[in-house]
Structure 1
Amino acid sequence: MTDEHPEGDRGRHSAATDPSAREASAVPPGGTGGPADLATPPVGSPSVDPLTDTGRHALVEPVPEDEPGREEPSPPVSPPVSPPVSPPGRGRSVLALAAAAVVLALLAGAVGGWVGWSLADRRTDELGVLERGLPAPDPASAQLTPVEAVAAKVLPSVALLRVEGGGPGGDEGSGIVLSPDGLLLTNDHVIAPAAEGGTITAVFADGRAFTGRIAGRDVGSDLSLLRLDGAAGLTPAELGDSESLRVGQQVVAIGAPLGLDGTVTTGIISALDRAVSVGGGGGQATVLNTVQHDAAINPGNSGGPLVDLQGRVIGVNSAIASTGGERGGSIGVGFSIPVAQAARVADELARTGTATRAVLGVTVTQAGAPAGGGAVVGQIAPGSPAEQAGMRPGDVVLRIGDRPIEDGDELVAAVRDHRPGEQVTVSLANREVQVTLAGEPS
């Protein structure tokens, strides 16, 4: 502490370390020494600083200079300067505040670290795949799925057919390779625009293109053969068995829907022995016996293969059901000609240029059709297999072999599913007859 009193007042104080000063300050002259005298400082004394003067300086009563018997007091000695002293308890508060600040700093660091980690982790979640990059390709370790294996096997055996008619019309479809030197099977309605003059071009997955010529047509079965000029080294498709197909069996369709060559779709067999009338009008010449499936096919798939999971052709994609429109797309209801029928027709066309079909020798009518289903016989051709078997007009055909007959289209499809010369059992409403089917040019 530094005293700021005037120089003349310094004689009133003595250092606290002077014994005579402490003794003299016990009882001031004229006082009683009681508590009241100690509690009230003499008039004219400096005010006591409660923070710095407590217990450090005693008050000294001034002595007149001319008073006899009294010695001059020793010259005033300045008290030693002490460092500032904090109020009682302030040191502990400072330490507590410092500790709290350290704790807060640690907490802030922890919170900041957690926030940073969270943001980094979130960024990793959002961009981690991009940050890690792509794995190096390793074709040797990739095992083909069944559909991939089918695609790899069958795609080289399927061609995109571009057909230009003699007039303004044209079409696109697909074809199935039957021989290395360029024999192709397709639908008749695909190549029909070029039948009276036009061009047919077959394009393969490897980029090769060949000009095609019609080698034979069967309008009744909607099948035709093409011969590709200058073709060699093509990959023939493997033919399968359509007689043992099962509903629910997985199948793959390959072709060029809407001109998109090399398209692969998958599905299952939805139904067998489905009678489908194509070409309009419901005439017998356009009724097909088909395999129904839900592998997506569209215009351009016609003539392409339907294959099993071994890559064997089990049908020729030929038609789709549509809800309307000029170019209706797939609704999951497609139809394929069974390969057993297609192969027989293709063989005949390749050998003779024409094909035959099995016939029963009857016409059908809707008159008198029973509510429970069946085909009503209208007329019977003289000398036909039906007449020879004893069938009569008005008979109701309920079954051909094991196949139920719901209407006239079903009867036509069931007969055409057999070869000419085969013997079949015809179940009528009131009897059964055995019929040997005849053949006629398609």
Structure 2
Amino acid sequence: MSDAQFPQHGGSQAPQPGSPDPYQHATTAWPGGGSGGGTGTEERPAPRRRRTGLAAAVVATSLLVGGGAGLGGAALWDATHEDPASSASTQGPTTSTVSQTQAPAADGSVESVAQKVLPSVVKIDVTGSQGSASGSGIILTADGTILTNNHVVEMAEDGGSLKVSFDDGSSADAEILGTDPLTDTAVIKAQDVSDLTPATIGKSANLGVGEGVVAIGSPFGLDATVTSGIVSALNRPVNVGSDDQGNSTTYPAIQTDAAINPGNSGGPLVDMTGAVIGINSSIRTAASQSPYGSSSESGSIGLGFAIPIDEVMPIVDQMAQGETPTHARLGITVGNPQSGDDAGAVVREVTSGSTADKAGLASGSVITKIDDQRITDADSLVATIRSYRPGDSVTVTWTSNGEEQSADLVLDSDATSSTS
């Protein structure tokens, strides 16, 4: 399996001298619903960038070298010599220039999207007992309610602090209103602010593969960065770890080739009208990484993943109101089929009295479809169920002893057992 990371800048501790880099530990994905046995897609929190002088120097050096190379030394010359206008009389004829004003951005262009969305995106700096880091966030209300990833702010949960930086250069302290590890979302509130520009929330259900999208955030701490691309795939099961109870953080991701890097986590993925259709949350990398260290901090290779906004807005509303988030459940634990077996999610255990138990699912059954969504493995099932809400009715199709069966059932809620 290839490694992947959360594309946030946030939630990492500073390394100790002589120790392996702790920012890029692999978090192995496993099927949700309690436990599981599959391997699935291995996604990870994007590496959380160190806030050290060395790291800052590396970024600054990279920018300088890149600028010098790209301009053939002209930028460096301008910075170290007198204004050439002062010696124009000795340099022969000069060419006059005409000042031009910037043309209005065309509707539907990346430029117009950036102008609309940038005021609604923030940089989040996090400080905790393990160090400091940063990520991105999406303004939801004019008085400072902000949506981001759980893995961006989790370092601040035990006595840490949050500072939010806005597009106009101002900043404010913030507090956590709620976190949900199962969907990797969190809601925070900036203090003593007003008249902010809330983002427009769109519909991820309306997306099509090939549609243009724009990502905005603070990759590597470079705030207000805009990248663009297309929707590469939809309903991609992405597993980035688990909560304290072993329930997996798996969601039906929007895959995009818009450049998403460490620091983008929690920022918006928007359509070409500027409406938020996803939360940038994880990236696939090509680097080989050990559980506790890595030789490099990998960036975008054109495989980024965003949490669909439709699936998480009910949970976001719960957190904003101070409620404990709830999630839909079948009442089973699942694993992947053995090599050579048909695709699907293999039922390992069924909770007595659960909706799955009442529908007749039993250990050994292989779930192949939820409504019209094909189920290929355990992560696929968990991601699909996470797109529903407790109380929703679904049609489950499965095979048992070679025979196909189906049943309509009402999804359970984890409200009585969830501590997230």
Q: What's the TM-score once normalised by structure 1's chain length?
A: 0.68
The structure 1 residue matched to 2:116, chosen from 153, 165, 182, is 153
1:435 maps onto 2:413 in alignment: no
Greater percentage in helix: 1
Q: Does 1:419 align with 2:389?
A: yes
The answer (yes or no) to whether the contact 1:187–1:318 under 8 Å persists in 2 is: yes
Cα deviation for residue 434 of structure 1 reads 1.1
Inter-partner Cα distance in structure 2 for 1:318 and 1:247 = 19
> Which whole-Å deviations, capped at 9, do the CAs of 1:281-314 have from their partners, x for residues lacking one?
9954222221111100011000000000000000
Deviations 1:308-343 (A, max 9, x none): 000000000000001125432101000100001221
1:342-396: CA deviations, max 9, x gaps? 2111101112332000001001134656533111101000111101111111111
Distance 1:409-1:143 versus aligned 2 partners, 3 A rule:
closer
1:359 to 329, 353, 378: 329
Alpha carbons of structure 1 residues 182 and 396: separation in structure 2 relative to 1, 3 Å: same
Q: Give the residue type in structure 2 aligned to 1:135.
A: V
Aligned to 2:355, which of 385, 404, 410? Answer: 385
Secondary structure at the counterpart of residue 352 of structure 1? coil
**What's the counterpart of residue 182 of structure 2?**
220
What secondary structure does 2:122 align onto? Answer: strand
Task: Provide the alpha-carbon RMSD of the alignment.
Answer: 2.0
> In the superposition, relative to structure 1, how do residues 370 and 194 fare at CA in structure 2: closer, same or farther (>3 Å)?
same
* Contact kept in structure 2, 1:296 and 1:334, CA below 8 Å: yes
Is the partner of 2:248 in helix, strand or coil? helix
1:30-429 matches, within 5 Å, as 132-139=95-102, 143=106, 146-165=109-128, 167-279=129-241, 284-324=247-287, 325=289, 326=294, 327-366=297-336, 368=338, 371-429=341-399
Q: CA offsets, 1:208-238, max 9 Å, x none?
A: 1010100001111110000111011100000
Does the Cα contact within 8 Å between 2:181 and 2:242 map onto a contact in 1? no
Amino acid at match of 2:116: K
Larger Rg: 1
Name the structure, 1 or 2, with higher relative contact order (CA <8 Å, separation 6+): 2
Unmatched tracts of structure 1, length 5 or more: 1-129
**Cα distance between partner residues in 2 of 1:189 and 1:240:** 23
State the alpha-carbon separation in 2 of the partners of residues 133 and 323 from structure 1.
Answer: 50
Query: Deviation above 6 Å: which 4+ runs of structure 1?
Result: none
Identity of counterpart residues, as a percentage? 44
What number of residue pairs does the alignment pair up?
Answer: 312
TM-score norm. by structure 2 comes to 0.71
Task: Report the alpha carbon displacement of residue 131 of structure 1 after superposing the two structures with TM.
Answer: 5.4
Task: Return closer, same or farther for 1:372/1:134 CA change in 2, 3 Å cut-off.
Answer: farther
Q: Which amino acid aligns with 1:163?
A: V
Letter in 2 for 1:195: E
Alignment partners' CA distance in 1, 2:170 and 2:259: 26
